[in-house]
Structure 1
């Protein structure tokens, strides 16, 4: 026991293990606070769990690189103060610059084009958090393929849905793909077809070819070669290489359209010229079997 100098009460001396427990709780709370602030600023896109590890250290170093002189990757009270100031400054800029959300998206897009996916993810998140549909779907794509962030189908699906609920065609087809493959959601061909149709009805070529595939093979919809061919043509007319190849196949074997090897060859060539390997192989085979259609 030790005596409290301000009273006659006896105070129990804390043990080393109890002290360590209190310290661990304090450090975990500080780490969580750091992760939350880094997340709001787009630097930390992993689990908010209060556990300090390589992802947290990397995010801290990235923030420090952009805003501070040191890059030690350590959690500290000074770091938290700096993060809070940065976040308040960001909120102020967001309020004063109505174009900031779009600017962040555009800068993120350019970063992605140059292969800097980490920077793209950070900027997409800032924009996505403001409800910008294009940023939500682009960030979802990064999560789906693990580019600049840890691969996470569930987060990709969540972001696609936020964007798709705004009627964004590219998000609808991406969310449909998640349902088709059962990535981040339970596989559901009917829901995939529904989402593809929402996107296809807006003229989105990728959705048209995807929905055409489902009609061709009767996945989630009643098999219908004519509808498949119609959808493939809508997409092929927009220059989609996969649609051109698939429609060429339909003409080659007379599925949903009148059999026409000359049209099949023309479509195969359009697709092959864009680098579609299967189209190139099918075109070569057809030209050898019937040279007249390739003249």
Structure 2
């Protein structure tokens, strides 16, 4: 279930309470008149079944509460209450299938913002992957995939398409393009530095690499895996099962492909550079396509069910 904490102007409190009372799937309604100071007003709290949460949040925004007061939402990990059980049973659909669009937009907004932390993670991931491709070490490749933060902007682009949010799309696209560009530039310098220390060499890059050669050899399976991973990642976001994102992160060849392209570029190997770039773009396209289609299907299925 979800716990809502609302600050409402006194003149809107009755409307808010009536809205909550007529929403199927709500319980534990509490009204505290005049206790809020900034902004001034009443505090209203309630619990709502996840499957009824999106509709209630939309109607609360329709009352202008997000502008004149406050709407805070928290996940309830444990609720020992027969009333809560009854509310969940009465709410249409299943909580695991419900999509909280405001929560999704907020999460993707945070994950798709170009920040120093985002740049640090994607750069470090690309440098780790560079070591993996040169050493032909699959463990390093998997580690780099897990560190890479690129799924956030990819999910942001898919969400922006479905929700028709151009600002989110632009923010996500900037984070994705600038992030990969910066990471690859730094990795080129890193590769040259490692070569000067005799830790990297062109012979290592161009040798037979059975563990990591796939990163510059895109094929049909590259796109298929990217599509499947994109769908799984999107489902993990909408159902709040964040653990599944780790599996998604180590399923797609985005960061390793960018790393291989950067190392190959530092040695002037155009064949591997273009092959890795093609692999990267193919994976990005597959994830965005799958994420968008998954969200559209979830939206359609939920509307039909409720």
Alignment TM-score, normalising by the size of structure 1:
0.24
Q: Normalized per residue, which structure has more strand?
A: 2
Greater Rg by CA: 1
